[in-house]
Amino acid sequence: MRILLPRSDEIAIFSTRKCKFQFWSGIMQIIELRNVKKDYLLGKVTVPAIKGVSFAIERGDFVSIAGPSGSGKTTILNMIGLIDIPTSGEVIIDGKNTSGLSDHELTRFRHEVLGFIFQSFNLIPVLNVWENIEFPLLLGKTRVPKNEWKDWIDFLIGEVGLGNWKDHKPNELSGGQRQRVAIARALVTKPSIVLADEPTANLDSATGEQIIDLMKKINREIQTTFIFSTHDATIVSIADHVIRLRDGTIIENRRSGEDINSSGAVGAPAED
């Protein structure tokens, strides 16, 4: 059993709902979207991809953003990940309003706060497993002190079960192995939030389940908030918080059996 301690800027509180201690920086909601809209210009036609969406995500949640193709889930994920800018509305992450940040500030913020897991793994082809996982640490200051890098990376490699594959390049790994590397890479900077876009789409069902179990385990142990954009019913079924989209609007916002209305209030019935 691992015992985790809060960071210096966090306090530990006991969640009766989850029956466990949670670390709180004073801000329960790690992500908040306020009336976010996103329009795309296709020639002369403006296509509204997201039509005024508001929701909040708590720290440590395992969140699924679900919906059919074209519902806008990837767009929402992109805006949470600060790699796409909303046409209007606000995206607040860890208490910081990200509107108006420059490209450099957004890049730094992503590096410090976010981790990414892509559908196609997106590993760097010329780096081996160990180097791919190490890569984000080399891009700037992180929460991991330099003298702890090696041990931390080795720990993550062990956690994802790739201890014997450190020196292998991505093209020498299976899909599942590559996704494990991507998970480890996403966690190496100890981000507050990990965003995963269809992480099991290119995997067989057995491998996909293994990946989901791994992420769930990490979510429990390290309390990293995981947000998935997914069709996968398995992920939806085990998610603490499910947000369903259709045609750019939220049709369901449910956390562990509780309906959340558009204002984010728990307990109020969801609007039809």
Partner 1 sequence: MAVILKMAFRNIREHTSKSLIIGILLALGALILVVGTAFIDASQAGIRSTFSDVYTGDIFISGISSDGPVSLFGVSSPGGLAATPTIPNYEKVISIVKSTPHIGGYSSLATGFAQLTRDDSTPQKANAPQKKIQAQDRFLFLFGVDAASYWNLFNQVEILQGERLQPGQPGLMISESQRQKFSDWLGKPLSIGDTLLIQGFSSAGMRLRELPIVGIFQLKEQGASPEQLAYIDIESLRVMSGMTIGANEPIKLKPEETNMLSTDNADSLFGEDVTVSQGSSAGIDVNAIAAQIAKEGTAKPLQADEGAWQFIVAKADSPHNVQRTIAALNASFAKEGIPVVAGDWQKAAGPYGQSVDVVRIVFATAIIILSIVAIIIIMNTFVISVIERTSEIGTMRAIGAGKGFVRGLFAAEATTLALVSSIVGAGLGIVTTSILRALHIEATNQFFLILFGGKYMNPVVSAGNVITAIIVMVLVGFIAHLYPVSLALKIQPVRAMQEE
The position carrying tokens 């984000």 is: 136
Distance from C-alpha of 135 to C-alpha of 7, rounded to nearest angstrom: 24
Residue 264 and residue 119: Cα distance in Å, rounded?
29
Angle at the Cα of 51 from the Cα atoms of 62 and 252, rounded to 5 degrees: 40
Closer to partner 1 at the Cβ: 83 or 270?
83
Least gap, CB of 267 to partner 1 (angstroms): 34
Candidates 139, 233, 265, 268: give the one binding partner 1 (CB under 8 A). 139
Of the residues 94, 197, 232, 240, which one makes contact with partner 1 according to CB under 8 A: 197
196 touches 176 (CB < 8 A)? no
**Part of the chain binding partner 1 (CB under 8 A), chosen from 34-42, 77-85, 93-101, 151-159:** 77-85
Structure token digits, residue 12? 């530990």
SS3 51: strand
Report 176-195 residues binding partner 1 (CB under 8 A).
Answer: 185-186, 189
State the nearest-atom distance from the C-beta of 102 to partner 1, in Å. Answer: 11
Q: From the CB of 47, what's the least distance to partner 1, in Å? A: 16
Q: How far is the CB of 181 from partner 1 (least distance, A)?
A: 13
Nearest Cα neighbor of 203 from 230, 243, 224 is: 230
CA 241/CA 63 separation, integer angstroms: 5
Smallest separation (angstroms) from partner 1 to the CB of 119: 6
Q: Which is nearer to partner 1, 84 or 247 (CB)?
A: 84
Select from 22, 71, 78, 192 the one that contacts partner 1 (CB under 8 A).
78
Classified as helix, coil or strand, 153 is helix
Cα separations in angstroms, 119 against 109, 186, 200, 202: 22, 13, 7, 7
Q: Give the three-class secondary structure for 228.
A: strand
What one-letter code names the amino acid at 80?
I
Q: Does 86 bind partner 1 (CB under 8 A)?
A: no
- Number of residues in contact with partner 1 under rule CB under 8 A: 33
What character string, x for contact with partner 1 (CB under 8 A) and - otherwise, covers 101-130?
--xx--xx-xxx--xx-xxx-x-xxxx---
Select from 60, 72, 81, 248 the one that contacts partner 1 (CB under 8 A). Answer: 81
Q: How buried is 42 (Cβ within 10 angstroms: 0-12 exposed, 13-18 middle, 19+ buried)?
A: exposed
**Looking at beta carbons only, is 22 or 75 nearer to partner 1?**
75
Separation of alpha carbons 123 and 247, rounded Å: 31
- Which CB sits closer to partner 1, 50 or 260? 50
Chain contacts with partner 1 (rule: CB under 8 A): 74, 77-78, 81, 83-84, 103-104, 107-108, 110-112, 115-116, 118-120, 122, 124-127, 131, 135-136, 138-140, 185-186, 189, 197
